[in-house]
Amino acid sequence: MNSLKVFDELESEVRSYCRSFPTVFTEASGYRLWDKENKEYIDFFSGAGALNYGHNPPQIKVKIIEYLNHDGIVHSLDMATEAKKEFLEQFNQIILNPRKMKYKIMFTGPTGTNAVESSLKLARKVTGRDSIMCFTNAFHGMTMGSLSITGNAKKRQGAGIPLGNAVFMPYDGYLGENADTVDYIRRYLDDSSSGVSLPAAIILETLQGEGGLNVASYEWLRRIETLCREKDILLIVDDIQAGCGRTGTFFSFEPAGISPDIICLSKSISGYGLPMAITLIKPELDIWSAGEHNGTFRGHNLAFITATESLNYWKEGTLSKQVGNMEKDIRNFLAKMVKEHSEIKGEVRGRGFMQGIACGVDGLAEKICSIAFASGLIMETSGAKDEVIKIMPPLTIDESGLREGLNILKNSIEDIKVQSFINSKRKNVSNQKRLRASG
C-alpha cells in the first residue's frame, strides 16, 4: 500500500516539502532522520532553518519532559509565567548584554511572518508613513503584509489581490558587481520627482535564503544603515532564517557592526523546532498601546523552556568557532565541485552554514536534490527558479556527518549526465508543443 496515499487523499494540494521528500518520516536525532522503512537520511535542510541545533537535542528534550511532568503552564496568552520570565532574563543576559544591545522583546504570533507583520505595523505607527522599502529576491513570509515586500512572483500571486505600499529596490549585487545600489536608492530618495516617497522603513535580509543565497556585503549593510539615519528611516533586519547562529554569529548582521531599529527572529529561536517568534524593538520605538498587536499563541511556554535552554549554546564561543571552521570546509567543497563540473555552470553562494551552488542549467538543481534524496541526503532548492542547491546542516553536525553528506552530494552531481538531462528536457518541451498544436 502506498504510505503517502492518505496525504494525497486528505491533505490540501498546497503541501510542498512532502513532494520533494516523498516518504513518511518516523524518527530523528541530531543530524539524522529515519523513515517508515527504516531508511536513514542525513539532514542538510534543518527544518528550513528551524532546527539549528539538530533534532531532539538531549539537553533540551529533558527540560521539556521535566516541565510537563510538573504540570508547567503551556498556554498563557501574554500573561506572566515563570517560563517567560526565565527566557527574558537569559536572552538579555546571554545575547543582548554582551553585545551592548538594548531592545524590548515583543512576543508575536508563533511564526516568522508574525514577527515581520508586527515590525511593519510598528514602523508605520512610529513614522506616520505607509510605504516600506524592500529588495529584489526578498522573502519575508506568506501573510499579506509580508507578501507585499516579498519579490517572488509565484508567492505574490497566491495573495489573490494587488499588493501595495511597498517599493522594491535592487539588492547588493543585483545590477552587477560594478553597480552601487546604495547610490541608486539614494538618488530616488533625494529626488522629490522620482515618484518614490520617503518610506517608513527599509527591511532586508543580510543573506537572502529563499531568494537564492544572495549575500549583502558588510560595507553595503553599513551604507544602508547610514542612509536610514540620514533620512530618518527605520532599519528592519529580518533575521528569521539567517539568525540564531546560521551564519556563525548569533545575529547575522553582527560582523557588519550595524544596529537595526527592529529585528525579526523566529525559526530556531525556540531551539527545538517549536513555534516561536519575537520582534526586538529599540526601547524608544516601543510605542504600542496594550493589546494593539496580539495573538492567541504568543505565550507558548514550551517554546520558552526550549529557547532558554538553547541559549546555553551561546555562553561560550565554541559553536560560533565550529561554524566558522566548518564553513570553510563547505565552501572549499562547493568551489571544487564547480571547478570540476563546469557543465553545471555553477556559482558558489552563501555564508556560514547557509551555502550552496547556483546552477546555470534550468531544472538541474532540483534534479540533483532529487538524486541526493534517493541516496539519503535531504536538501532543498532556493532562488526564483529553484536554481540553487541549498546546504543547511544543523550547526551541531560533526565533521564525520558533514563529510558523509557532502560526499552524497558529490556523487549526486557526478551521477547526472548534464547534456543528457538538457536533451531530455528539450525533448519533453518539444513533445508538449506538438501535443498542443495537434489539440
Q: pLDDT for 260-271, tens place per residue? A: 999 999 999 999
Greater confidence, 225 or 421?
A: 225
Helices (H), 168-209: 181-190
How far apart CA 360 and CA 357 sit, in angstroms, is 9
User: Which tens digit of pLDDT belongs to each residue from 233-258?
Assistant: 999 999 999 999 999 999 999 999 99
Residues 6+ apart with CB under 8 A from 434: none
How far apart CA 199 and CA 191 sit, in angstroms, is 14
Mean pLDDT over the full length of the chain: 95
Residue 2: the pLDDT is 79
- Most distant CA pair in the chain: distance in Å? 70
148: cell is 507585499
Residue 434: the pLDDT is 64
How far apart CA 207 and CA 347 sit, in angstroms, is 16
**Is residue 423 pLDDT above 80, yes or no?**
no
Whether the CB-CB separation of 414 and 344 falls below 8 Å is answered with no
Average pLDDT in the 385-394 region?
Answer: 97
Q: How confident is the model at residue 438 (pLDDT cuts 50, 70, 90)?
A: low
Residue 211: the pLDDT is 97
User: Which tens digit of pLDDT belongs to each residue from 100-113?
Assistant: 999 999 999 999 99
Highest mean pLDDT among 42-51, 313-322, 427-436: 42-51
User: Which tens digit of pLDDT belongs to each residue from 45-79?
Assistant: 999 999 999 999 999 999 999 999 999 999 999 99
**Is residue 391 pLDDT above 60, yes or no?**
yes
Using CA of residue 14, residue 20, residue 26, residue 28, what is the dihedral sign? negative
Q: How confident is the model at residue 41 (pLDDT cuts 50, 70, 90)?
A: very high
Residues 6+ apart with CB under 8 A from 345: 359, 360, 361
For every residue of 52-114, DSSP letters joined together read TT-BS-HHHHHHHHHHHHTT---B-TT---HHHHHHHHHIIIIIIGGGT---EEEE-SSSHHH
Average pLDDT in the 424-438 region?
Answer: 66
User: Which tens digit of pLDDT belongs to each residue from 139-184?
Assistant: 999 999 999 999 999 999 999 999 999 999 999 999 998 999 999 9
**Is residue 435 pLDDT above 90, yes or no?**
no
Kindly list the distances between the CA atom of residue 309 and the CA atoms of 53, 63, 78, 246, 315, in Å, as whole numbers in the listed order: 11, 8, 20, 18, 11
Which residues is 358 bridged to in the sheet?
Answer: 347, 388
| Rounded-to-5 percentages of helix, strand, coil across the chain | 45, 15, 40
**Is residue 392 pLDDT above 80, yes or no?**
yes
